[in-house]
């Protein structure tokens, strides 16, 4: 129970920081809406509706990347991460709390973005929403760990997309498949499998990312 209390305290702190500085979520929202406008001009008239559905996933992945790049910026200033490492009993709680706050930002951005996408490019089906929800879990789990890695390196923001994109290709495949295929269930299954496998690996290995 006290583990969850730690996770709660850490996630609450991230939301508080965002509420105060308001720099991540508005940026993510603006980015995802701008990318929709770009998509309109990328897709020539008469292009299949499916093409736009695929591009939705490009928007989601890059919007998430935008949020993840800033995930540990507050900790890096003043090297707060050292303080958290000393204070937190189980270091995976730091990952858990951060992943929850990333998940919240991503979900909030999508609550706005998906209806707008529907408005611009045609109806968003329920299976797409389910796929986005499942993919968000995987993106938050893997992305938080990789953001922690990138924060420890000299290259930082430059490194994160390089680490992140090859790892989320299965999520993109699952997401696009669930959106456009005739039988989405196996693709939704793939997304759930990804969440389970990578969630566990990230949860188990985060302690090594922040401590020697």
Contacts to other proteins by CB under 8 A:
2, 5-6, 9-10, 13, 16-17, 20-21, 74, 77-80, 82-89, 142, 145, 149, 152-155, 159, 162-163, 165-167, 169-170, 173-174, 176-177, 186-187, 190, 193-194, 197-198, 201, 205, 208-209, 211-212
Instruction: Please state the closest distance from residue 26 (CB atom) to other proteins, in A.
Output: 16
Instruction: Please state the closest distance from residue 41 (CB atom) to other proteins, in A.
Output: 25
Q: In the chain, helix, strand, coil percent, each to 5?
A: 85, 0, 15
93 neighbors 6 (Cβ within 8 angstroms): yes
CB 37: neighbour CB atoms within 10 A?
10
Q: Among 88, 83, 71, which Cα is nearest to 5's?
A: 88
Nearer to other proteins, 50 or 201 (CB): 201
CA atoms within 13 A on the CB side of 35: 20
171 neighbors 191 (Cβ within 8 angstroms): yes
Instruction: Please state the closest distance from residue 52 (CB atom) to other proteins, in A.
Output: 19
Instruction: Please state the closest distance from residue 17 (CB atom) to other proteins, in A.
Output: 5
Nearer to other proteins, 118 or 177 (CB): 177
């Amino acid at each position: 129970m006290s583990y969850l209390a730690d996770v709660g305290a850490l996630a609450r702190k991230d939301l508080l920081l965002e509420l105060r500085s308001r720099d991540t979520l508005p940026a993510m929202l603006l980015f995802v809406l701008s990318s929709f406008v770009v998509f309109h001009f990328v897709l020539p008239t008469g292009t299949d509706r499916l093409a736009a559905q695929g591009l939705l996933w490009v928007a989601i992945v890059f919007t998430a990347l935008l949020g993840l790049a800033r995930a540990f910026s507050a900790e890096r200033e003043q090297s707060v991460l050292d303080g958290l490492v000393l204070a937190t009993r189980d270091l995976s709680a730091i990952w858990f709390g951060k992943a929850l706050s990333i998940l919240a930002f991503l979900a909030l951005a999508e609550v706005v973005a998906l209806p707008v996408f529907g408005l611009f490019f045609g109806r968003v089906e329920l299976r797409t929403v389910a796929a986005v929800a499942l993919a968000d879990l995987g993106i938050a789990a893997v992305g938080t760990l990789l953001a922690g890695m990138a924060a420890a390196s000299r290259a930082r923001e430059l490194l994160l997309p390089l680490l992140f994109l090859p790892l989320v290709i299965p999520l993109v495949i699952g997401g696009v498949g669930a959106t456009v295929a005739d039988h989405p269930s196996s693709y939704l299954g793939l997304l759930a499998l990804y969440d389970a496998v990578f969630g566990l690996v990230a949860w188990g290995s985060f302690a090594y990312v922040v401590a020697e």
